[in-house]
Amino acid sequence: MKLISLLGLLVLLFIAWLISYHKDKVNLRTVLWGLFLQFLFALIILQKSAVSWIGMAIFAMLLIIYVFRDIIKAAWPKFIWIAGIVLGAAMISVIFFFLMKVIPVSLIFLFILVIMLVNKYFIKYESVKPYLSAILIVSIFTAPAALGIYGQEIFQTFSDGVAKFLSLSRYGAEFLFGNLARPEYFFPQNTAWPGFGYLFAFVVLPTIIFFGGFMAILYHYGIMQKLVETMAKFMSWTMGTSGAETLSCSANIFVGQTEAPLLIKPFLNEMTESELLTVMVGGFATIAGGVLAGYIAMGVDAGHLVAASVMSAPAALVMGKIIYPEIKESKTLGMVKMPQMERAQNVLGALSNGITDGLKLAVNVGAMLL
């Protein structure tokens, strides 16, 4: 099965190359890094063995090198610095591994976070920030190995949590629609009455509205912007793609094809043809948050859906850059910055706007199904 999957991936890449507008302009760095990140995420998310820990270790080292990128850029020779950083991180990881056997992991995380907050708001030593961030990264990725937890188990727990959270929308649906939204009335064990059946409009569509309101709260407090910007910077650093297209593809993990381009609205008029195509590919490759909620409400495994979206972000950049390689100079090359978004007066206003947007999406989904 794994061999067939690999063969299918190679066939897709070959087809993308065949229809490429400029076959000789394909950036090998983007393709190789995109494939590497996709395989790395697959190792971490899908494996239930020590291979998952190896994937986590590699990803942790990449993140640590990324954190020290400015220091490494100014250093010479760079290879010695990178080797020293990796060796130091490995030694700290071993220390954390044994510490986590005797000290609760939560206490270790709390201690590191307190030090980071004290430095950020009181001491304010800028030079210490990369080292503290690196220590936090090492502790986070060492914890699963110390506790004997694999990546698949982490995502399964995450999946169950997401499904449980989204199921809260059922209370509102049951209040509004009564027995039409109650699972026990879908297929009751009663020969005299077959039941209502699974009513998509009364079960799935309310979940989309609920999730739309929740996402609006996260955007109001700037949580999603920070998360998307961080992911975009990392992928841009590894794959060499421009800031605008990377930002849009990263945002597509959480929002839909119509919402993600709004993040790069100030750059749309000056984007190259290659960037515009990549933005469109990113939208088709991933699952919007509202649609994700709908699929989960229908019983699809949340972990699989989230894993597919995360792995599809670098894959979309690869496919976009093979089909239409960059032949012009991008205005946002090397720059990833979230534009200022219009915000509501308060969290209730944001929630109201999010619910309205969720309602529009729910009606749109229902209309398309009709």
Nearest 5 degrees, angle CA 39-CA 28-CA 244? 80
User: Within a 10 A sphere around the Cβ of 153, how many other Cβ atoms?
Assistant: 15
Structure token digits, residue 200: 């998509």
* Strand, helix or coil for residue 49: coil
Per-residue pLDDT averaged across 283-299, rounded?
79
| pLDDT per position as a tens digit, 121-155 | 888 888 899 999 999 999 999 999 999 999 888 87
Report, as an integer, the average pLDDT of 85-95: 94
Q: What is the pTM (predicted TM-score) of this model?
A: 0.83
Tens digit of each residue's pLDDT (9 = 90 or more) over 182-219: 888 887 777 667 788 878 888 888 888 888 888 889 88
The per-residue pLDDT for 335 is: 64
pLDDT value, residue 299: 78
Residue 162 contacts by C-beta under 8 Å, 6 or more apart in sequence? 296, 302, 306
Q: How far, CA to CA in Å, does 258 sit from each of 80, 188, 289, 296? A: 45, 40, 12, 21
pLDDT value, residue 316:
92
Cβ contacts of 85 within 8 Å, gap of 6 or more: 64, 65, 68, 72, 134
Give the chain's radius of gyration (CA, Å).
23
Residue 274: which of 226, 228, 327 has the closest Cα? 327
- Asked whether 351 and 358 are in contact (CB, 8 A), the reply is no
Residue 65: what residue type?
I
**CB contact set of 331 (below 8 Å; sequence gap of 6+):** 242, 244, 267, 270, 271
Read off the pLDDT of residues 7-53 as tens digits, 9 standing for 90 and up: 888 899 999 999 999 899 999 999 999 999 988 988 888 888 889 99
Flag whether pLDDT at 1 surpasses 60: no
**DSSP track, 111-160:** HHHHHHHHIIIII--GGGHHHHHHHHHHHHHHHHHHHT--HHHHHHHHHH
Using alpha carbons only, give the angle 277, 282, 284 rounded to the nearest 5 degrees.
100
